[in-house]
Homo-oligomer: A and B are copies of this chain.
């Protein structure tokens, strides 16, 4: 794992420890709050847990926690909301995989939720995860001393990022663009809405909880937007590399599915150049925070370096 932009051996080791600690925190909270084996009906718990613990990288909650730390926020206070974002992400994956959407049988090497539990339970498990996310948010005030005004701001942020003006909008355009020739604006719309909106919100929410000034919030929003787009462009590049390697992969590639990707539109070389440019922009937006922003920048570098 290269962390190019940081380039410090000490920080590399430190970052590994940093990330492992954060992932553990997130997983512990999720385990604790999704572990009611006696609850009825059991199917829905199994289906919800199956996808929540299917090996996600937890990048969104890590972004929330890391942004909060950058602004001297209390990490335990942020944790329930960081985990709520992971639930929203998981719900979106379950629904995206459905037969009428991307029709995927496998995700992360495991059967998709609807292949394992049936379509009805998969749709309902997604819906239940979305509602549980909002329950996490409403509960977060207890014991975590988050004030009501912030709860309200976060509610607004997440409902907007996940709705028709965010993630749902991106998915609608993605589905309708399949096997069609799309222009640059459309592919940017899909990437910034379907993937980018929630990644940007993960950063923004870490900032909002920590009482960021509007100047800092604007700067971190630019970072979040850039990171969100970079995440999807690197995903596209990985899909293209996988496509070219001709190796048998479990699950379909976006190119095979007739989806518009960055490399299919701009070529691999230009797409790589775009990632370099986006990472450099991340660096620019975080620069004023100085050394304290190294963990956030390291995460951005990890995302960018996935394609190496």
A residues in contact (CB < 8 Å) with B: 39-41, 43-45, 48, 95, 98, 100-101, 118-121, 123-124, 127-128, 130-132, 134-135, 137-139, 141, 147-149, 151-153, 155-156, 158-160, 162-165, 168-169, 171-173, 175-176, 189
Which of B39, B98, B168 contacts A131 (CB under 8 A)?
B168
Task: Please give, as numbers and ranges, the residues of chain B lying within 8 Å of A156 by CB-CB distance.
Answer: 135, 138-139
Taken together, the copies of this chain in the complex come to 2
A162 to B124, CA, bound (A): 11
> How close is A232's CB to chain B, nearest CB, in angstroms?
18
Known pairs A128-B168, A172-B43; A119 contacts B100 (CB<8 A): yes
In the complex, what residue of chain B is closest to A127 when comparing beta carbons? B168
Known pairs A120-B101, A152-B138; A41 contacts B132 (CB<8 A): no
- Contacting pair B41 A127 (CB below 8 A): no
- Contacting pair B45 A131 (CB below 8 A): no
In the complex, what residue of chain B is closest to A134 when comparing beta carbons? B159
Known pairs A134-B134, A148-B152, A151-B151; A124 contacts B171 (CB<8 A): yes
A147 to B119, CA, bound (A): 40
> How close is A234's CB to chain B, nearest CB, in angstroms?
25
A20 to B287, CA, bound (A): 59
> How close is A119's CB to chain B, nearest CB, in angstroms?
4
> How close is A156's CB to chain B, nearest CB, in angstroms?
4
- Contacting pair B132 A130 (CB below 8 A): no
- Contacting pair B118 A100 (CB below 8 A): yes
Which of B127, B130, B153, B168 contacts A124 (CB under 8 A)?
B168
> How close is A91's CB to chain B, nearest CB, in angstroms?
8
- Contacting pair A159 B171 (CB below 8 A): no
> How close is A95's CB to chain B, nearest CB, in angstroms?
6
- Contacting pair B43 A128 (CB below 8 A): no
A101 to B123, CA, bound (A): 10
Could you list some 11 contacts between A and B, CB below 8 A?
Answer: A40-B189, A41-B169, A41-B173, A43-B172, A100-B118, A100-B120, A124-B175, A127-B130, A131-B168, A132-B163, A138-B152
> How close is A226's CB to chain B, nearest CB, in angstroms?
22
A101 to B176, CA, bound (A): 23
Of A41, A43, A128, most B-chain CB atoms within 10 Å: A41
Task: Please give, as numbers and ranges, the residues of chain B lying within 8 Å of A137 by CB-CB distance.
Answer: 155, 159
Task: Please give, as numbers and ranges, the residues of chain B lying within 8 Å of A39 by CB-CB distance.
Answer: 164-165
Task: Please give, as numbers and ranges, the residues of chain B lying within 8 Å of A132 by CB-CB distance.
Answer: 159, 163-164
In the complex, what residue of chain B is closest to A161 when comparing beta carbons? B131
In the complex, what residue of chain B is closest to A158 when comparing beta carbons? B134
> How close is A183's CB to chain B, nearest CB, in angstroms?
14
Task: Please give, as numbers and ranges, the residues of chain B lying within 8 Å of A123 by CB-CB distance.
Answer: 95, 98, 100-101, 123
Task: Please give, as numbers and ranges, the residues of chain B lying within 8 Å of A124 by CB-CB distance.
Answer: 95, 168, 171-172, 175
Task: Please give, as numbers and ranges, the residues of chain B lying within 8 Å of A131 by CB-CB distance.
Answer: 159-160, 162-164, 168
Task: Please give, as numbers and ranges, the residues of chain B lying within 8 Å of A158 by CB-CB distance.
Answer: 134
